[in-house]
Amino acid sequence: MGMMKYVQQATTGKENIPDSSLLIDPILENVEEGILYFDDLLVIRKCNRSFSDLTDIRSEDVLDRHIKEAIPEVSQWIEGRLPESVLQGEAFSGLSMEMSFSHARSHVGLQVSAVPVISHAGFVVGGILLFREPLSSERRWAVKIRQEEVVRQISSDFINCPTEHIDEGVQSALEKLGRIYHADRTYVFVLDPGGQSASNTHEWCAEGVVPQKEYLQNMYLFSEYNWMAERLLRLESIHVPSVSHLPPEAEAVRELLLSQDIQSMMVTPLSVEGTFAGFLGMDSVKAMAHWPEKALEVLKSAGEIISFALRRKTAETDLSEINQRYRDIVDMTSDLIFHLYRNAEGLLEVDWVPGRWTQNHGYEPGPLVSENTFKRLIHPDDLELALRRIQLAMQGEEVKLAFRMYTSSREERWMEGSVRPSFGLGRANHAVVGALSDVTERKLAEQALTDLTEALMVSHEELHQFAEITSHNLRNSVANLLGLKDLYDKQGSSDNSQVIEKIFTSIRQLDLKLNDLAEVVEVKNRRSRLLARKISPEAIFRQAMKEFDADIRDTDAVFYTDFSEIAEVSFPESYFHAIMVSLISNSLKFRAPQRRPEIRVGSFKEKNAHVLTFADNGIGMDLVRHKGRIFTMYQQLHEGYEGKGLDLYLTRCRMEAMGGKIEVKSTPGKETIFYLYFVGQDY
């Protein structure tokens, strides 16, 4: 089998060419043997392309020259034997010899034989020399190896080729194929999206051959070039040795090919999973090519390799697009979605987190790489549990995960979601995927809800108590009035004066109770906060004290005050005044009879409050016995004292209305200390 390169056809010496030259010329150009014709004067008149191919002698260098000058290598042989034999009309096909040509591509010698050319009249008018390569088994083997080498090279080009270089690989394969088969053009067509047309995606051209790629885009293969399309769809290769000899039904194909000056063509389908996806082909433009059958085999192999490479490129491009699209989508969420794995050193790594989350939490975009970074982001109290759960997920369980983590400005955010094992890339038992939502707002809302619920519970409890107290007290007066009404003698036969007097007493009691309740309701009114303004506790305390001038004189009570830590509070003045009056009154009322009353007012600051202390050395209270009753309505703990049991309840209500509180400590018989907590103050 020879490697052939067709060169410009010789056109000289026409007068000596037999009449049947029209038939003979195409044959001459398509045989593997090199053919050289000389006339009876041993002047070379014609040579074919194979001659030039085999000997590497250009036709223009030998035509019209004497054979001895033109081809010195054969001259000796010819001089010795040929002229006589040829001219005597002897066929000497048996006379052959091997000879080497200095410039020939192949260093293997060529077999040369000679035959005489005899005219119709029986005269020898010239001779033909045939040059052919000896078809030794060694040579066949060498050729086969060379072809397989090409396939192997193309194949290995692709195996290690990164996706982004696949196009270059295809280009290189086209060039290799083109050069080995002396094609003028090699190319790849790929089906366009939609599959209705195909486009020339890669093209290689021999020197001096005009590229066609730009004219061969979106070719409607199926509708217009049916002859070719139906073969390719059946995944058959097509070999067209001579375009002009295509059958009539392939007229459209013929016209297309001829419009590109194509004389010979060989194409093989590209397929993806058994479906036609494009084709690989080569053309001969300058002349008809005489490609061996083996060329088609090589082309098919190359087609399979290129199919595979293109499929890989498509798959990887798709994958990369899907990956990008996925990230784009995930980037839109404010959630923390991540892939966490243990690297070769056994350290945790996160390779990527969504951009919006990163932005929302004040971090620079980019990977949160190291285990240290990762650990530093999680609240120390939550870290151990989080790591344990991640480990559990790595072992194959989907687990809930919740932790607090920090923004770049160390603000705490609550993250909540789940993690589950990620298998892939050989990371089984070493990787998890997770999706966590920032639930901080929800957590805060929950906290607010809890607070609100607690406040409602307190409110409810108070309402309950209020109803109970109303039931006991207000109704008590009403019940009395009802009872007295029944005792009233309408006939006037008995003395009604006692009953009437008691009716009036009951009405007065009812009025007082209603006033008390009105006061409670007033204090409970949340709008009391609006009354708050900056006040001086000491000044108001002094005013309140004035109301007890007589009592203080009578009891000889002594006051020690230190308002230094609470020079100013934001509080409704009327409330503060009422509270002071209640506490002074309480201390004087429950003074211990055997000692001089001492009242100590102090102040200190706490984390979230200004605290005022109010202590006395009075009779004290049994807080264990009266637990929970000190600051409730209508509680009287001591025998023999006047009072409605409402003052401390109202004090509590006033403090609580302002978000503060009141607490008490007491030792019976010794002392009582009230603590008033004023919150929401400026520091």
Partner 1 sequence: MHKTDRMAKVNRALIIDDDEINNFICIKNMKDTDFAMHASYCLRGREGLDELRDAVENRPDDIPDVIFLDINMPLMNAWEFLEEYKQLLPRMGKDVKLFILSSSVYRKDIEKSQLYDTVTDYITKPLSKENLKTIQEKYFN
Binding stretches for partner 1 (CB under 8 A): 467-468, 471-473, 475-476, 478-480, 482-484, 486-487, 498, 502, 505-506, 634, 636-639, 645
Taking the least distance from each CB to partner 1, the nearer of 561 and 635 is 635
The amino acid that residue 652 corresponds to is R
Shorter beta-carbon distance to partner 1: residue 392 or 474: 474
Q: Supply the minimum distance, in Å, between the C-beta of residue 617 and partner 1.
A: 23
CA-wise closest residue to 46 among 57, 55, 35, 56: 35
CB of 506 to partner 1, least distance (A): 6
Q: What is the largest CA-CA distance in the chain?
A: 186
* CA 564 – CA 579 distance, rounded (Å): 19
Distance from first CA to last CA of the chain, Å, rounded?
A: 103
Residue closer to partner 1, measured from CB, 319 or 463: 463
- Residue placing its CB nearer to partner 1 in the complex, 214 or 639: 639
Burial of 175 (0-12, 13-18, 19+ CB in 10 A): middle
Nearer to partner 1, 387 or 481 (CB): 481
Q: Which of 559, 558, 582, 598 is nearest to 630 (CA)?
A: 582
State the minimum distance, in angstroms, from the CB of residue 597 to partner 1.
23
The answer to whether residues 469 and 633 touch, using CB atoms and an 8 Å cutoff, is yes
The minimum distance between CB 643 and partner 1, in angstroms, equals 9
Q: Which 8-state DSSP code applies to residue 66?
A: B
3-state secondary structure of 178: helix
d(CA 404, CA 381): 9
Q: Whose Cβ is closer to partner 1: residue 354's or residue 618's?
A: 618
Extended beta strands in 273-425, E state: 275-284, 336-342, 348-350, 399-406, 412-421
Shortest distance, CB of residue 509 to partner 1, whole angstroms? 8
Shorter beta-carbon distance to partner 1: residue 595 or 625: 625
Cβ-based nearer residue to partner 1, 425 or 478: 478
Which among 127, 141, 133, 148 has a CA at the least distance from the CA of 39? 127
Residue 287 tokens read as 């002349």
- The CB-of-474 to partner 1 minimum distance in angstroms stands at 8
Nearer Cβ to partner 1 (14/626): 626
Length of the chain: 683
Q: Which is nearer to partner 1, 15 or 486 (CB)?
A: 486
Output the smallest distance, CB 647 to partner 1, in A: 15
**What strand order describes the sheet that includes 92-99?**
44-47, 34-39, 124-132, 110-118, 92-99
CA–CA distance, 269 with 276 (Å, rounded to integer)? 7
Report the b/e string of 308-327 with b at 16+ CB within 10 A: bbbeebeeeeeeeeeeeeee
**Any long-range contacts for 541-546 (C-beta under 8 Å, 24+ apart)?**
541/580, 541/601, 543/577, 544/577, 544/580, 544/581, 544/584, 545/580, 545/584
| Residue 672 Cβ vs partner 1, minimum distance, rounded to whole Å | 18
Q: Are 636 and 643 in contact (CB under 8 A)?
A: yes
Task: Pick between residue 334 and residue 636 the one whose CB is nearest to partner 1.
Answer: 636
CB of 639 to partner 1, least distance (A): 6
| Min CB(396)–partner 1 separation in Å | 56
CA distances from 534 to 248, 312, 570, 579, 613 (A): 108, 78, 4, 16, 19
Distance CA 182, CA 295 (A): 11
Residue type, 609: A
Shortest approach of partner 1 to residue 670 CB, angstroms?
20
Helices H / strands E in the chain, number of each = 21, 22
Q: Which is nearer to partner 1, 349 or 516 (CB)?
A: 516
To partner 1, the closest distance from the beta carbon of 659 in angstroms equals 30
Radius of gyration in angstroms for the set of CA atoms belonging to the chain, rounded to a whole number: 56
